[in-house]
Structure 1
Amino acid sequence: MNIRFDGKRALVTGAGKGIGRDVVKKLVECGAETIALSRTQSDLDSLKQECPSIIPVLCDLADSESISTALKDCGPIDLLVNNAAIAICESFFDANTADFDKTFDINVKATIVVSQIVAKGMIERKAGGSIVNVSSQASLRGLKNHLIYAASKAAVDSVTRTMSLELGPHNIRTNAVNPTVTNTAMAKVGWSDPVKVKAMTSLIPLGRFAEVSEVVSVILFLLSDFSSMVSGSCVPIDGGCVASLGT
């Protein structure tokens, strides 16, 4: 498949690092005019050096009141990737309300607020569009020490399904991707313990973690017209981990 987004405008949140950064690069490569939103100026500066055509937007999505201000001059958007998220990994008894609020503010509330702004513009233009929310394998199975994070990603899945029902009549498709541990720079630090890695990869039939490119490819497919009849789906990118639950 030769995916092209010529003439399309895209917005990617959490664009400074990891999956979001690579999504931005591929969207630019595929011809989309791309808006990169991050809370870290240095990440936007370095991304701008790599991809001079991007439109950088500095915004801390934890502050929901600032989102509309940050996006008000971005113009029409055809493609949206809600990638921004934080992962505070705690056990059941260590979880606290401050971490719950912080996680849900970014992982869930910001996803809703950004999508509302973008989808409203899509509807006003009667142009349709495609939205991809980056969820997690953690929403689909129990994982120790992931209580709040997993709950937030389960909420993202639910938000995705509801969005698909309400936005579908406007020709706006909404899907989610649910990656397993993905080999970003941050994940490599968090999963540096070989014992921990072996315990996790033993649950994955393919026996390894995902590469960033493997997640990005599915996101691009869901954004593209090649997936024109796919909406309301939460797509595991997990090497068969969820499928192996009953074995």
Structure 2
Amino acid sequence: MTGLLRTPSFRLDGKRALVTGAGRGIGLAAATALAEAGADVTLAARSSDEIEAGAEALRAAGFRAGALRLDVTDLAETERLLASAGVFDVLVNNAGTNRPKPMREITAEDFDAVMDLNVRAAYFVARNVAGAMADAGVKGSIINVSSQMGHVGGVKRTLYCASKFALEGITKAMAIEFGPAGIRVNTLCPTFILTEMTRPFLADPAFRDMILSKIKLGRMGELEDLMGPVVFLASDASRLMTGSSLMVDGGWTAE
């Protein structure tokens, strides 16, 4: 038949992708998803052992992957290493942390640790990668890993919410600035996902019950739940999306 439309491709063959915080959890899942879609993926994190193991596992499965030891809080070293790494087509800006406490227990050290990684480091990684894309004429995709907590408040989450609301604002402003260069900038906003970071919080039955009461689909998020959305945002399938937030929250923010 003639005249049928063709779905823009979800494939990433020939694309180079960088994933920060890729040693475990959401970062490693994102790297795996991008590699499965055909991208040549660079796993970046402070822990050499974890990213080397992740890259090796991907290569053993027949995918293209490498490792880059990167402390994104060291801005000068990050800029140098990213410049030497060349131009990427996709960034999953995932490195982040959380220190959930009541506001009156948050210390200046807590504040600095969370904001330095979740906002300051994320800002400059995005700036460096998007700038290289623009200079090279690459119409790429920046995926800033935010959270449902970048859209709502939560108990013991004043600091984390502050960091993720900031990332949402950075994303929207970047979308405006880099849109003329054909570079798309969006956020991925998960609910509570079962990872090594969240497992200690979820061990508290009362906290877990509260979480499940908010998730309309009635279950915790799993890493696999984020893999399709990452590929969607990275690929031409989302080619008209920029400055947007992709909620993967099981309906948490629906009310």
Is 1:130–2:141 an aligned residue pair?
yes
Amino acid at match of 1:157: E
For 2:3, the equivalent position in structure 1 comes to none
Is 1:209–2:224 an aligned residue pair?
no
Q: C-alpha distance in 1, partners of 2:91/2:116?
A: 19
Q: Deviations over 1:89-121 (max 9, x none)?
A: 111101111111111111111111111111111
Pairwise CA distance, 1:208: 1.6
Matched-pair contact (CA < 8 Å) for 1:130–1:174 = yes
Matched-pair contact (CA < 8 Å) for 2:52–2:66 = no
Match for 1:83 among 74, 94, 114?
94
Q: C-alpha distance in 2, partners of 1:157/1:241?
A: 17
For 2:19, the equivalent position in structure 1 comes to 12
**What secondary structure sits across from 2:68 in the alignment?**
strand
Match for 1:46 among 43, 49, 53?
53
17-26 or 58-67, which deviates more: 58-67
Match for 1:157 among 168, 188, 196?
168
For 2:30, the equivalent position in structure 1 comes to 23
**What secondary structure sits across from 1:211 in the alignment?**
coil
Q: C-alpha distance in 1, partners of 2:147/2:45?
A: 20
Pairwise CA distance, 1:70: 2.1
135-144 or 151-160, which deviates more: 135-144
Equivalent residue runs for 1:60-99 within 5 Å: 60-99=71-110
Q: Deviations over 1:189-231 (max 9, x none)?
A: 3211222111111012111221111112111101110111111
Amino acid at match of 1:74: A
Q: C-alpha distance in 2, partners of 1:217/1:190?
A: 26
- How does the TM-score come out when normalised to structure 2? 0.92
For 1:175, the equivalent position in structure 2 comes to 186
Q: Deviations over 1:121-170 (max 9, x none)?
A: 11112121111100011121111111111110110111110010101111
Is 1:35–2:42 an aligned residue pair?
yes
Q: C-alpha distance in 1, partners of 2:103/2:128?
A: 34
Q: Deviations over 1:7-50 (max 9, x none)?
A: 11011000001011011112112111111110111211211320
Equivalent residue runs for 1:217-228 within 5 Å: 217-228=228-239
The 4+ residue runs of structure 1 with deviation greater than 4 A are: none
Matched-pair contact (CA < 8 Å) for 1:16–1:40 = yes
Q: Deviations over 1:34-90 (max 9, x none)?
A: 111101112112113202332211111122222112212211111111000011111
**Unpaired stretches in structure 2, ≥5 consecutive residues:** 1-6
Matched-pair contact (CA < 8 Å) for 2:43–2:55 = no
How many equivalent residue pairs? Answer: 244
Q: C-alpha distance in 2, partners of 1:243/1:199?
A: 16
Q: RMSD between aligned alpha carbons? A: 1.4
Matched-pair contact (CA < 8 Å) for 1:58–1:70 = no
Matched-pair contact (CA < 8 Å) for 1:3–1:224 = yes
180-189 or 230-239, which deviates more: 180-189
Matched-pair contact (CA < 8 Å) for 1:62–1:102 = no
Pairwise CA distance, 1:232: 0.5
Pairwise CA distance, 1:174: 0.5
**What secondary structure sits across from 1:226 in the alignment?**
helix
Match for 1:238 among 231, 237, 249?
249
- How does the TM-score come out when normalised to structure 1? 0.94
